[in-house]
Structure formats: structure tokens, C-alpha cells
Amino acid sequence: MAPGNAPEGPAGGRVVVAVARFNEAVSRRLLDGASAMLAEHGYGHDRVDVMWVAGAFELPVALDRALASGRYDLAVALGAIVRGETPHFDVLAHETTRGLGAVALRRSIPVGFGVLTCDTLEQALARAGGSAGNKGAEAAEAAVATRRALERLGGDAAT
């Protein structure tokens, strides 16, 4: 979508983007993609708050607190969980996903899911602006599209 033809975000609406610092080289690229996509949809940098957290596991609680404030129309969660030699990967991937889904349902506010779960750092980098696109941009676009779908249903999506 050309920036000149971008639909506006909700009047006065704000976005919170929570970003995991662990695997920061990947997370920063995801953030770049998400920020560009949000800007295309009318959410300029003055309407986007970025919140850094330690790792993917901390994303749900951070977003839950941010969304409880009532300041945000949508959220995006970004991070990368790279498989290691232990089952830790599976636990983190499952609990982060479950937690973010619970936050979206509890708050009735879209949470774009941009948490990569990859076998290698190379796979993660490919999905963070490399040969496989930018999943941060895709997560932001999904959150915006979901917000619009909720608005079409009527009523206040945040109640």
C-alpha cells in the first residue's frame, strides 16, 4: 500500500509495541518492519510507544499492564525464541504464545503476534527483514486489520 493512500488509524489511537531484548539483533529488525507498517496505516512514531522487556516470556505481562491503562487501541509483540539444546525452547514458545493470546482475549484488544520460533539464528534473521520477509511488519498489519474488523462489528472493542 502506498503511504499516500494509507488509511488513517483511529482518531487519537495509540499503539504499544513490546519488544524482547533477548536476540536483540533480530528484535530490532522486527521493530523496524512493524514501525514502517504501522506508519503506512496512519500510526506515525508520535502514536507508537515502544516498550523493551527482557525476553519473550515477559511480553504477555508487559502488554497486559500496558493495555489495562486504556491508552492503546492495539498492540504488537515482537521477539525471537531460537531453539537450543534443551526443552526450554518449547516451554518458552508455548507459554509466550498462550500468554499473548490470553492478554488479547482478556483486554479485547488486538495483539499482533511477531514472536519468531526458529531452529537457528539464521532462520530468525531471514524472517526479520531477510529472504523470508519481515514478520514484525506482518504482525503489525494483522493487528491493524483485526482492529478494523472489531470496529466493523460495532461497539467499543476495548470493553
Q: Reduced to 3 states, what is the DSSP secondary structure of residue 77?
A: strand
Contact predicate 33/66, CB 8 Å:
no
In the residue annotation, 45 being an active-site residue is answered as: no
Q: Which of 41, 45, 88, 94 is catalytic?
A: 88
Report d(CA 69, CA 112) in Å as an integer.
Answer: 18
Cα dihedral across residues 145, 29, 80, 55: positive or negative: negative
Closest to 136 in 3D by CA, of 69, 61, 64, 48: 48
Closest to 136 in 3D by CA, of 144, 122, 69, 66: 144
Contact predicate 133/125, CB 8 Å:
no
Contact predicate 112/41, CB 8 Å:
no
Catalytic residues: 88
